[in-house]
Amino acid sequence: MFVLSAGYILIWGLLKAGRSWCFIVSVLGYLASILFLLISLYLFALFKGVGRNPAIEAEHPLTNSVYYSIFYYISPFLGAFAGGFGAIEASMLSHYLLVIAAGSFWATFLVWIIIDPVVGFFETQIPSSKAHRRKRLAETKAVRRQERLSKERLLREVISRKQQEQQNWKNILPPLAEQLAGLVCSEDSDSKQKEMKVVDIGLAAWKIGGLSFMRQLYSLTIEICRNKYDGVNFAEDVSVWWDGIGSWRNNWLEADV
């Protein structure tokens, strides 16, 4: 109703100014821009009324009442009715429709754009509304504080578990690396049996700490083989034999070693 009234008033004004329909069509782009602005105001007021926050209803006892909501939504029709009643003796149909459109337009603008925000502001100054708002903000602050504390506690737990995990790895890693280095750097001729044992150790390492533990075990094994077994570097075969265990990929380590 609001948009139709605004469009009718604009077109009537152009015709009253002596402009032809050809001119009106030629400036349709400008007219569309104005109508878009009016529609935006209309939708803003409409969704402002529909999307009221239930959490703050107690802070707006009047504007959240059933009677005010009915008045809010029928105000365009009340304006049109008032305009039609006031111009009932108009001699020309165009003038009668113009008064109806003007009544609807100005009633909507007055109620949705001016009266509603003003009433809403004064509602917030009522002592009960202020008390409810303070309580609501305090509860919101408490909830956010609790969420922040929960996140901090969770972070501390993760860090603590990670530190405990690293400590456990320090106890497990050296003997396991010694075992693996002795296995892969030995002169054992049964390479198939050796490969099976290396794969078993890789599976165990994956279960203990995933890829990170496997990388540390691999690096320590390489170091032990180079320092303890006269530079023999058979440990590089480990990367090939472990390929496909968990998320281990042989080519990941080619640039690291």
Among 68, 93, 125, the domain boundary falls at 125
Chain-centroid distance of CA 175 in Å reads 49
Mean pLDDT along residues 51-59: 64
Contact call for residues 238 and 207 (beta carbons, < 8 A): no
17 and 106 in a single domain? The answer is yes
Query: Rounded CA gap, 237 and 234, in Å?
Result: 6
Does pTM surpass 0.85?
no
Q: Is residue 159 one of the residues assigned to a domain?
A: no
Among 98, 125, 152, the domain boundary falls at 125
12-16, 217-221, 253-257: range with lowest mean pLDDT: 253-257
Q: Is residue 192 one of the residues assigned to a domain?
A: yes
Query: Rounded CA gap, 233 and 50, in Å?
Result: 74
Residue 46 burial (CB count, 10 A): 15
How confident is the model over 196-240, as pLDDT tens digits?
Answer: 888 899 898 888 888 888 888 888 888 888 887 765 556 667 888
Query: Rounded CA gap, 81 and 104, in Å?
Result: 8
Query: Rounded CA gap, 186 and 2, in Å?
Result: 91
Q: What is the pLDDT of residue 149?
A: 92
Among 108, 125, 142, the domain boundary falls at 125
Query: Rounded CA gap, 222 and 224, in Å?
Result: 6
Contact call for residues 181 and 235 (beta carbons, < 8 A): yes
118 and 175 in a single domain? The answer is no
For 51, 70, 107, the CA distances from 65, given in Å and listed in that order, are: 14, 9, 20
Query: Rounded CA gap, 99 and 105, in Å?
Result: 10
13 and 120 in a single domain? The answer is yes
Query: Rounded CA gap, 104 and 42, in Å?
Result: 12
70 and 10 in a single domain? The answer is yes
Q: Is residue 134 one of the residues assigned to a domain?
A: no
Q: Is residue 187 one of the residues assigned to a domain?
A: yes
Query: Rounded CA gap, 155 and 69, in Å?
Result: 48
83 and 172 in a single domain? The answer is no
9 and 119 in a single domain? The answer is yes
Domain enclosing residue 241, as ranges: 165-252
103 and 210 in a single domain? The answer is no
3-state helix, strand, coil split of the chain in percent (to 5) is 80, 0, 20
Confidence of residue 44 (pLDDT cuts 50, 70, 90): low
85 and 10 in a single domain? The answer is yes
Q: Greatest CA span in the chain, whole angstroms? A: 116
Whole-number percent of the chain with pLDDT over 70: 65
Q: What is the mean pLDDT of the chain?
A: 75
Confidence of residue 168 (pLDDT cuts 50, 70, 90): confident
Q: Is residue 160 one of the residues assigned to a domain?
A: no
Contact call for residues 107 and 78 (beta carbons, < 8 A): yes
The tokens describing 185, both together, are: 């750097």
Q: What angle do CA 104, 107, 112 make, to 5 degrees?
A: 120
97 and 210 in a single domain? The answer is no
Q: What angle do CA 32, 35, 38 make, to 5 degrees?
A: 155
Q: Is residue 23 one of the residues assigned to a domain?
A: yes
Number of domains in the chain: 2
Confidence of residue 126 (pLDDT cuts 50, 70, 90): confident
Q: Is residue 156 one of the residues assigned to a domain?
A: no
Query: Rounded CA gap, 88 and 101, in Å?
Result: 14
Strand ranges, E, within the chain: none
28-42, 93-107, 166-180, 206-220: range with lowest mean pLDDT: 28-42
73 and 16 in a single domain? The answer is yes
Which residues have a Cβ under 8 Å from the Cβ of 249 and sit 6 or more positions away?
A: 243
101 and 44 in a single domain? The answer is yes
Q: Is residue 131 one of the residues assigned to a domain?
A: no
12 and 83 in a single domain? The answer is yes
